[in-house]
Structure 1
Amino acid sequence: MFEHFSWKEILTCSMVLFAVIDIIGSIPIIVSLKKKFGRIEAEKAAIVAGLLMIVFLFVGNKILNFIGVDVNSFAIAGAFVIFIIALEMILGVQIQRNTEATSASIVPIAFPLIAGAGTLTTTLSLKAEYHDINIIFGIVLNTIFVYVVLKSANWIERKLGTGTLKVVEKVFGIILLAISIKLFTANFAQLFQTYVHF
C-alpha cells in the first residue's frame, strides 16, 4: 500500500477535500450552532466525519458494483456535484445545507456539514484518479484541520472577519471549479476509450 505514497497526490487530495468540506466558509454556521447549543463537541464531530469519509472510500465502491455503476461514471457524477458546490462558493448562493440542527456534534456538523453528500461523492471520485493511501492521508489532514477550526471558530471569525472569509471561500471555489473540470475530462476520456474498445 505504501509503495504508492506520494506527497503530490496527498497535497492534491487534501486541497480538493479542503475546498469541498469548506470548513472555513462554514465558520459562521459553526459559531451560530455554538451560540445555540453552548458548546460544540469538536473531537466527536471531527472523528465521526473522518471515519465516514474513510469508510465510504472503501465501501462506496462495493455499493457501486452492487448497483452496476463503474467508478468513472460515478466520478463524472461527482464532478458535477463538485461543480455545483464550486458555483455555490463563487456566486454566494445556497443549493444545499438547509439542514435543521438537532445536536452540536454528529448532526449537523459531522454530517452533513463536513462529511455531506458532496464530500462523500468527492472522496469516491478521487478514488478513480488517486491511490487509496494518499486519499486517506488527505482525509486525516482535513480531519485534523476541521478539529482545529471547530475548537477555535470564534477566534478565527474575529481575527479574519466576514469579508476575508468570503474572499477565501471564493478563491477555493475557483480552485474547486478547475478540479471538477479536470475530474470530468479525465474520467470522460477513460469512459470513451472503454466504449471505443468495445
Structure 2
Amino acid sequence: MDLDFKQILTASMVLFAVIDIVGSIPIIIDLRRKTGHIQSGKATIIAGVILTVFLFVGQSMLNLIGITVSQFAIAGSFVLFFLALEMILGITFFKEEDEDAMKDASVFPIAFPLVAGPGSLTSILSLRAEFSSENIIVAIFVNMIIMFIVLKASAKIERLLGQNGIRILRKVFGVILLAIAVKIFTTGIRDIFLIPS
C-alpha cells in the first residue's frame, strides 16, 4: 500500500468541492421535510460504496453498455437540473408515492445523484488517471465522514438558520446547483462533439 498524504489531501479537496455537501444543506433539509427522516448512515454507506466501486469498474461498466463518461454526465445533469428547479421555483418533481418509497430518499436523490453523482463519478475517473487507488479510497472515506456529520446535523442547522434563512439559502444554492447542472451538461456536450467519429 502506497499512501501519499499530498495525493490524499488533493483528492479529498477535489471531491469535497465537487460533492459540495455543505452547499447541499438546503436540499437535504427540504428532502428531510418531505420524507420525515433521512437515514444518515445508510446514505453515507451507499454513496461511499458507489464511489469506491465506480473507481474500479466505472470506465469498464460504461464501455460495456456503450455509454461514454460524457453521456453519463449529461444524463445525471438532468436530475440535478430538476432538483435545482424545485429549490428555486418551489415546485415538486420528485414525488414519493408510498411509505416504502419515502424511505429511499436516503438513497435517491441524496446518495445518488447528489453525492455520488455525475460530477463526483467523473472526477473519480479523472483522479484515477493521476493518483493511486489507495489514496483515492482514503479521500472518499474522508468525504463520507464529512457527509455523515452534515446529514446528522441538518436538523440543528435548520433550527439555527430559521425558516427565512433556509428559504434564502434554498434559493441561492438552487441557482448554484442549476449552474453546476448546466456546466456538467455543456462540458459533456463539448466532449461528445470532440470525440472523433
Q: Where does residue 76 of structure 1 map in the other structure?
A: 74
User: Are residue 115 (structure 1) and residue 123 (structure 2) matched?
Assistant: no
**Residue aligned with 2:172, SS:** helix
Which letter maps to 1:30? Answer: R
Instruction: Tell me which moved more, 144-153 or 20-29.
Output: 20-29
- Listed one character per residue, the Cα deviations across residues 75-123 of structure 1 (whole Å, up to 9, x for unaligned) are 222233322222222222221252644499xx42531242134544423
Match for residue 84 of structure 2? 86
Question: Which residue is 2:121 aligned to?
Answer: 124
Name the counterpart of 1:166: 167
Aligned to 1:49: 47
Within the candidate set 17, 20, 24, 2:19 is matched to 17
Quick one: distance in 2 between partners of 1:136 and 1:110?
A: 22
Counterpart-to-counterpart distance in 1, 2:144 and 2:73: 22
Q: Which amino acid aligns with 1:179?
A: I
Report the counterpart of residue 28 of structure 2 in structure 1: 26
CA distance in 2, matches of 1:21, 1:56: 23
* Secondary structure at 2:165 match in 1: helix
**Structure-1 residue corresponding to 2:93:** 95
Partner of 1:146: 147
List runs of 5+ in structure 1 lacking aligned partners.
Answer: 35-39
After superposition, the Cα gap between the structure-2 partners of 1:29 and 1:79, relative to the gap in structure 1 and judged at 3 Å, is: closer
Q: Distance in 1 between matches of 2:22 and 2:152?
A: 20
C-alpha distance in 1, partners of 2:116/2:146?
17
Distance 1:137 1:89, change over 3 A: farther
Q: 3-state SS of the aligned residue for 1:149?
A: helix
Q: TM-score, normalised by structure 2?
A: 0.69
Deviations 1:166-198 (A, max 9, x none): 222222222222222222233322221223xx4
Identity among equivalent positions (%) equals: 35
**Conserved 8 A contact 1:46-1:146:** yes
The unaligned stretches of length 5 or more in structure 2 are none
* TM-score, normalised with respect to structure 1: 0.69
- Structure 1 window deviating more from structure 2 (118-127 vs 167-176): it is 118-127
Q: Compute the displacement of 1:72 (Å).
A: 1.7
Count of residue pairs brought into register by the alignment: 188
Equivalent in the alignment of 1:37: none
